[in-house]
Structure 1
Amino acid sequence: MHLHKKIIAYKSVIKEWNKKDMKTEGAQRSFNNYNNSPPFLAGVISKEELPRVYRILDALFRQIEYLGGSVNDDLSFNIRNENVHIVVIESQDQIKHEMTREEAKELLIYEDAKRHHSWESEPKIRKYGYVFNGRLRITIRKSKYFRDTDSVNIESRLSEMLKELYVESEVVRIDREAREEAQRKREEEEKLREELRIRYNAEVERTIALTNIVQDYDAACKIRAYTSALELSENMGDKTDAWIDWAKKKADWFDPTVERTDELFGKRKHEKDSEQKALKNSRYYW
């Protein structure tokens, strides 16, 4: 039987990544030993065991599809509309590292430099090496995994794996809905904060405008009080009746309850602040 089409397509992903893997022979290979996590199956399965892994996945994929699920391009599962991932690794045995000729040469150069009191960086030669041992481990949930033992191969537990995949899909659903609900709450809280910010800023603007209007009203009242005092005074100085009439009109211009239009100044923008309303000499011809 031919392998599942998704597996056939995915083989090139593993091949390309493994070609670029810079780890030396005998280096430990696990997800924790890579700066950037390799794609599924790459780097952590020997080329000898990959065909076996493909057969196991092929059996799972066909059962998932028979039950109404599907397989994604990255070989994850779509079960009951939830994306389910598994982790497959091959165990490694730790063995004593046999020094290579190149390493022996580097060590000799370093020791010779040390004897002659010259500087040379000490070569990093590991004490142990690691070799794949053909034993697979498939993790479906954080606390649920299947592995080869001396007496049992992982293939004999495919039905249990299938069951755990469906259990995991429910776990994924619950987690996803919890994240979505948390996100909804965050968005709702952000919306309420934004609405409050807009309301607050609008209230600030209204209050500032009110105090600016009151300042104009206060100026109008003071002008009227002054002109009334002049009219009652026996000594008006150089203030004529025409000047008092002019001053009263200016009071009406300042007064937001009257809003008189001045022939030169136009209508006063009472809600603006003092700096914006300040009268300034014009530098230009009319």
Structure 2
Amino acid sequence: MSDKKGLKRKDLYDLVWSKPLTTIAKELNFDAYNLRKICKQQNIPLPQSGHWQKIKHNKKISKTIFPVDVEKDKTIILFLDENGHVAYNPPGKVKSKLKTEIETNKELSLKVPDKLSKPHKYTIATKEYHKAVKIRNKSRNWSMKIDDTNVLSISVSDSLFPRALRFMDTLVKVIEKRGYSFNTSNRTEIVIHDQTYNIRLTEKNRRVKLETNRSWDEFDLVPTGNLCLKLDRSYPIKEWSDTKTTVLEDKLADILVWIELKAKEDKERQIENAIRREKQEKTRQKEEELRKQKEQELSKFKELLSMATRWHKAEYLRNFIKELENNDLKLQFQNEVIEDTIQWAKEKADWYDPLIEKEDTLLEDVDRESLTMKSRRNW
């Protein structure tokens, strides 16, 4: 890696040829789809399908040479955070422009107040809900019904709850001011560009070892007083927390930028996937139609061949009948002499001939192809 802050084209090329893309994505806390997309955009060749299986079984492989680009090779294309993970929206013009737009928007109030002012209906509902929960827990009246309509997902200690409520109240108002919406039917969800993300405000805990006489270790979770906003149902899972130098309230602009860019990225991926599925479906339909045409063609040919075979056999019979006529002979089947042999034989040839198929009462239940009795369900 040529730069501690991130990867350049050659760095990423070396990385994708050193291990599978899915493995790299996990290590960077990134998703393989976007990693593949970046490689395509940067003209970085990737191993073909089956490459790693060949290596596993010590088979011969070929490696595509790195395409040098003097200008592009100077630029970092993947930025890394302090943990070596990819910053989902790396510093750049798009992110900077959006953050500036949000921070300079006078209609947005990014400052979390010290006291609630004109609380949102979700905030009011959440406050009442937590008050009711405390009453129920204190009275131990577990049959008490509590209305959870419009309740925001907040899970913090009582001492931290007022601050958490003010933060969520500000976040909800800002999100709606940006033209997006919330859904609180089952969980707290933000809906942006038709993309839905589950959001939770929690309190960071630390594990504390308990002193016991048991032979195994036991731990307890102790609240730290640090707020943490988590965005579930997204990849990678994202969270923002209080740190030693910054509180969560100061990260509202960064939170908005990340969510909006993530939603835009996911929307583009959704459209790409829809287009790809449509192409796949069209290809499948064409293949299915071709398969049906082939089956129909084969079926028609078999039918033609069968008719030709029957016709040939019928002509064979007629030639045999001519010999009977010339010799004035009678046929004998199963020790029974057929009277009017010639006429009988001609009728049977006409019954069998696919170009005539003369009706025969006694043979109406016989299949002309196999010369066997038809099954009852076909009668």
Change (3 A) 1:10 1:220: farther
Q: Does the 8 Å CA contact 1:7/1:75 hold for their aligned counterparts? A: no
Write out aligned runs for 1:1-286 (5 A): 1-9=117-125, 41=153, 45-73=156-184, 74-86=187-199, 88-99=201-212, 104=213, 107=214, 125-139=216-230, 142=236, 145-233=239-327, 242-265=340-363, 273-274=369-370, 277-279=371-373
Q: Which structure would you say has the larger RCO, counting Cα contacts within 8 Å and 6 or more residues apart?
A: 1
- Deviations 1:178-218 (Å, cap 9, x if unpaired)? 33234334433443444344434434543443344334223
Give the match's secondary structure for 2:316.
helix
Q: Distance in 2 between matches of 1:261 and 1:133?
A: 95
Q: Distance in 2 between matches of 1:166 and 1:253?
A: 79
Q: Distance in 1 between matches of 2:263 and 2:301?
A: 56
- Larger Cα-atom Rg: 1
Change (3 A) 1:258 1:154: same
Q: Does the 8 Å CA contact 2:153/2:199 hold for their aligned counterparts? A: no
Counterpart code for 2:265: V
Q: Does the 8 Å CA contact 2:188/2:200 hold for their aligned counterparts? A: no
- Deviations 1:130-178 (Å, cap 9, x if unpaired)? 2121212335573864321122211022122222222122122122223
Of all paired residues, the percent bearing the same amino acid is 25
Q: Distance in 1 between matches of 2:244 and 2:296?
A: 75
| Structure 2 unaligned regions, length at least 5 | 1-116, 137-150, 375-379
Q: Distance in 2 between matches of 1:125 and 1:2?
A: 52
Q: Does the 8 Å CA contact 1:93/1:130 hold for their aligned counterparts? A: yes
Q: CA deviation at 1:62?
A: 0.8
Give the match's secondary structure for 2:340.
helix
Matched residue pairs, number? 232
Change (3 A) 1:62 1:246: same
Change (3 A) 1:212 1:188: same
Change (3 A) 1:196 1:134: farther
TM-score normalised over the length of structure 1? 0.64
Q: CA deviation at 1:61?
A: 1.4
Q: Does the 8 Å CA contact 2:157/2:223 hold for their aligned counterparts? A: yes
Q: CA deviation at 1:254?
A: 0.9
Q: Distance in 2 between matches of 1:187 and 1:7?
A: 46
Q: Does the 8 Å CA contact 2:195/2:267 hold for their aligned counterparts? A: yes
Change (3 A) 1:210 1:89: farther
| Structure 1 unaligned regions, length at least 5 | 20-38, 108-123, 281-286
Change (3 A) 1:128 1:88: same
- Deviations 1:65-121 (Å, cap 9, x if unpaired)? 12222111232222244324445443222222133xxxx5xx5xxxxxxxxxxxxxx
Counterpart code for 1:184: E
**Larger helix proportion, structure 1 or 2?**
1
